[in-house]
Chain A
């Protein structure tokens, strides 16, 4: 299994003041029932195969500071790509090769930095919204192109 050391990643994109999750969850009773969250985490809209999934399929019920793989293994948030890779296997393969996603820095000598899946894709709602494009080039007749 790929170890975290293999991929130098930037820190995971956590909401300010949320992590570690155990700060709140440690003393709470575990409620495994699928329900609408009314008190906390109301900003999270699960839109990622939500009909067959719930929080505790990825977040571990006992150790909230960890993510949980199918086989029950607990992983750190910095290794979340292993969890994503369980379903998105071919994307994971490309990502490890440096093809899916973006690398920055130096492409030689191992100084390049990887981004986690979650840096670009919101894991709860991974579909991208459109963005505003940069302005088109001036046409040749445009006076900003002339003298």
Chain B
């Protein structure tokens, strides 16, 4: 293609500009884009990436459970998540999980929460800890406001972002009532030895400056039947994960047997993230 518009661009920049929305690509185009990205990551990080594009598994709707009576606020999930998902470590530091600390007895008062707490030891007697991340809403406000449809809900309920299609307007960040999204103010900085090369196009592949990203329930793991990284990192077994459509799953057991609630239910976002207490 030799449009005058691209006369000052490199071939790669032109290809990037003309790259289609992920859902509108033909299988051939997907293959070419994946090859292009793999080559780019190899150049940038010196490692061979495996970029999956696996579709949603039939008959799955992912749901998360989190036991507030057991969370000790140690933030191990926060850092395991950043590592698994190739998040920028600093300049800027991007975390998909925010653990907020609340005074016991004032759970619904999120206004008085604190997420920079740093005591020598956790848990502290007078507080409880509420980790918040993307709630994968059934009616996601972030999807509604995106002017270019760069973010959408997958058939298995995961709210994902096509980082290449995202224009960085950050409407979704403003719309999310859970502060579930973060913005790449600069190209991510990832320590070379910690780069995770098993990635998904809609998940943990390294992002670029000016794209929005967020928790994907570890799409690259859960679509192959593995637990998300935060579930495996939690030292107290606070975090639970499963298929809401499978009556024998752990998450269904929680909903049936525990007292569950969801954050900001009054907003009608219908999160698929269930907090519960030991009854």
Could you list which residues of chain A lie within 8 angstroms of chain B, going by C-beta atoms? 94, 97-109, 111-112, 120, 128, 130-139, 144-147
Contacts and interface: CB of A to CB of B under 8 A. Distances in A.
B237 A102 contact: yes
Given A130-B123, A138-B93, 13 more contacts: A99-B253, A102-B236, A103-B227, A104-B232, A108-B225, A131-B121, A132-B74, A133-B73, A133-B118, A134-B74, A139-B116, A144-B91, A147-B91
A113 to B, nearest CB: 11
A136 B79 CA distance: 10
B219 interface: no
Interface residues of B, number: 45
Interface of B: 65, 67, 72-76, 78-79, 90-93, 95, 98, 115-123, 185-186, 225-227, 231-232, 234-237, 240-243, 249-250, 253-254, 257-258
A37 B237 CA distance: 34
B93 A144 contact: yes
Contacts of A101: 237
B20 to A, nearest CB: 32
Nearest to A102: B237
A138 B78 CA distance: 13
Contacts of A108: 225, 243
B225 A106 contact: yes
A145 B93 contact: yes
B98 A137 contact: yes
B220 to A, nearest CB: 14
A123 B234 CA distance: 21
21 contacts: A99-B254, A99-B257, A100-B237, A101-B237, A102-B231, A104-B232, A107-B242, A107-B250, A108-B225, A120-B237, A130-B123, A132-B122, A133-B74, A133-B75, A134-B74, A134-B75, A134-B79, A135-B75, A138-B90, A144-B90, A145-B92
A145 B185 CA distance: 10
Contact of A107 (B95, B186, B226): B226
A2 to B, nearest CB: 16
B122 A133 contact: yes
A131 B74 contact: yes
B122 A107 contact: no
A147 to B, nearest CB: 6
